[in-house]
């Protein structure tokens, strides 16, 4: 069963088929995708993404949540942990990868930091891995700040699908002050 995690303003909950319209709209917005491939995703690709997120929970015991703003009940994004088996140069370690994406209207409101912190607190208590990682486009300064606020530290550059990225790692229980 996929847990529900709540914060002061957000509800991290399982994705449902009803999320497809909001997820498709988010992934079709180039403001959202400019650092994740730079193109809009189709409804079919968005659907496959939701299925992958749900399947990750079955296989690994963790995955991605849909993120709802509690006050409005609106779908504002998705975040969580995954095992994406990315072909990168150099190869990535086999540790859970943390990711987050939010609708453009949610940018700059602190939702990413709030939600990622909650997901990491859940992971620290429920996932056996001693560390997590994330990949971020070097130009995505907002996500780099989120990662640092959540205890991640830059480790090394990698190339994924010919695109340079930075790999960040966080040891279990790390806070921003201990990320170095």
5-64 pLDDT tens trace:
999 999 999 999 999 999 999 999 888 877 877 788 899 999 999 999 999 999 999 999
- Per domain, the residue ranges of the chain are 5-129
DSSP label at residue 95: S
Q: What are phi and psi of 80, to 5 degrees?
A: 155, -155
Question: What phi and psi values does residue 43 have, to the nearest 5 degrees?
Answer: -60, -40
- Looking at per-residue confidence, does 73 or 174 come out higher? 73
pLDDT tier at 157 (50, 70, 90 boundaries)? very high
Angle, alpha carbons 50-143-133 (nearest 5°)? 70
pLDDT at residue 180 above 50? Answer: no
User: Among all chains, which residue has been given the structure tokens 């002061």?
Assistant: 8
Q: Counting beta carbons within 10 angstroms of the beta carbon of residue 164, is it exposed (0 to 12), middle (13 to 18) or buried (19 or more)?
A: exposed
Residue spans of alpha helices (H) in 14-74? 20-28, 30-33, 43-60
Fold (topology level) of 5-129:
Aminopeptidase (3.40.630)
**Which pTM was predicted?**
0.93
Using DSSP's 3-state secondary structure scheme, residue 146 falls into helix
């Amino acid at each position: 069963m996929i847990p529900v995690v709540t914060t002061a303003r957000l509800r991290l909950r399982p994705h449902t088929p009803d999320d497809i319209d909001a997820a498709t709209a988010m992934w079709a917005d180039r403001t959202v995708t400019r650092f994740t491939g730079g193109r809009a995703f189709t409804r079919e690709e968005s659907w496959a993404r939701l299925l992958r997120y749900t399947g990750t929970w079955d296989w690994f015991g963790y995955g991605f949540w849909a993120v709802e703003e509690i006050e409005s009940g609106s779908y504002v994004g998705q975040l969580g942990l995954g095992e994406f088996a990315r072909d990168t140069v150099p190869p990535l370690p086999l540790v859970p990868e943390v990711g987050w994406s939010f609708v453009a209207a949610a940018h700059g409101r602190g939702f990413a930091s709030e939600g990622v912190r909650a997901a990491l607190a859940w992971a620290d208590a429920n996932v056996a891995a001693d560390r997590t990682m994330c990949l971020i486009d070097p130009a995505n300064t907002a996500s780099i700040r989120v990662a640092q606020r959540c205890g991640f530290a830059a480790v090394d550059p990698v190339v994924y699908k010919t695109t340079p990225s930075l790999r960040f790692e966080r040891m279990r229980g790390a806070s921003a002050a201990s990320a170095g």
